[in-house]
Amino acid sequence: MELDWTSLLQNYGYLAVFIGSFFEGETVLLLGSFAAHQNILNIWWLVLTATIGAFIGDQFYYHVGSKFGHNFIAKHPKLANKFNQASSFIEKHPTITILCMRFAWGLRTVIPISFGIKKYNYLHYFVINIFASFIWAMVIIFIGVQITHLIHQLWGSIFHTHLTIVTICTIAIILLILFYKIYILKKQAK
């Protein structure tokens, strides 16, 4: 069963954004950006909700890694490979990894779990993750708002062009009918 984020967003607004941000988030944030552009959702509440959802999700995965990670990785060989990839980068660049982990598609849940498995300093992870979640929410939402704005401009341009073409065609048809009637009247007058 596939989730219909559009319907969830229409019916549950910020709750849908929170839940979507907890797990992955880009799809629901882009839809939320559209809703903010349409003044259905407030953009700053959207950013706050997405930040909190992303932050709590990452903290949850950190704790899952801390408590159950070693056993879980041992039972899932595919994840063991991703864990090894994430671990090497975590050891070399822990702060950068936390700041960028929400942008690492395919590793997004594995990286916080990896931090938990490695028993990385929780306070450092907590503080940096607040900033990382905020940065992620701002970037995705404002990209979404810009894309929405460009689509509206493009649609407006297409509609305007379409309207212009329809207007010109209508005027041309009316002129053709008038010239035809004038032609018929002149022919009958002879």
Q: Could you give the angle at the alpha carbon of 112 between the alpha carbons of 110 and 117, nearest 5°?
A: 85
Q: Would 185 be classed as within a structural domain?
A: no
Write out pLDDT tens, residues 94-149.
999 899 888 887 777 888 988 999 889 999 999 999 999 999 999 999 998 888 88
Domain that holds residue 34: 5-146
Quote the pLDDT of residue 37: 82
**Cα 102 from Cα 2, distance rounded (Å):** 22
More confident residue, 44 or 73: 44
Write out pLDDT tens, residues 53-64.
999 999 999 999
Q: Would 176 be classed as within a structural domain?
A: no
Confidence of residue 180 (pLDDT cuts 50, 70, 90): confident
Burial annotation 52-65 (CB, 10 A radius, 16+ → b, else e): bbbbebbbbbbebb
Quote the pLDDT of residue 137: 94
Sign of CA dihedral 37, 41, 45, 48: negative
Q: Would 54 be classed as within a structural domain?
A: yes
Provide the 3-class DSSP secondary structure of residue 4: coil
**Cα 33 from Cα 42, distance rounded (Å):** 9
**Cα 166 from Cα 172, distance rounded (Å):** 10
Q: Would 156 be classed as within a structural domain?
A: no
Q: Would 183 be classed as within a structural domain?
A: no
More confident residue, 87 or 66: 66
Confidence of residue 157 (pLDDT cuts 50, 70, 90): low
If one counts the domains in the chain, the total is 1
Quote the pLDDT of residue 128: 95
Confidence of residue 1 (pLDDT cuts 50, 70, 90): low
Q: Interhelix angle for 43-75 vs 14-23, to 10°?
A: 30
User: Which CA distances in Å does 36 have to 17, 103, 128, 142?
Assistant: 12, 22, 27, 10
Averaged pLDDT score across all residues of the chain: 83
**Cα 166 from Cα 171, distance rounded (Å):** 9
Quote the pLDDT of residue 159: 63
User: Which CA distances in Å does 7 have to 17, 38, 139, 173?
Assistant: 12, 16, 24, 44
* Arithmetic mean of pLDDT, 39-48: 91
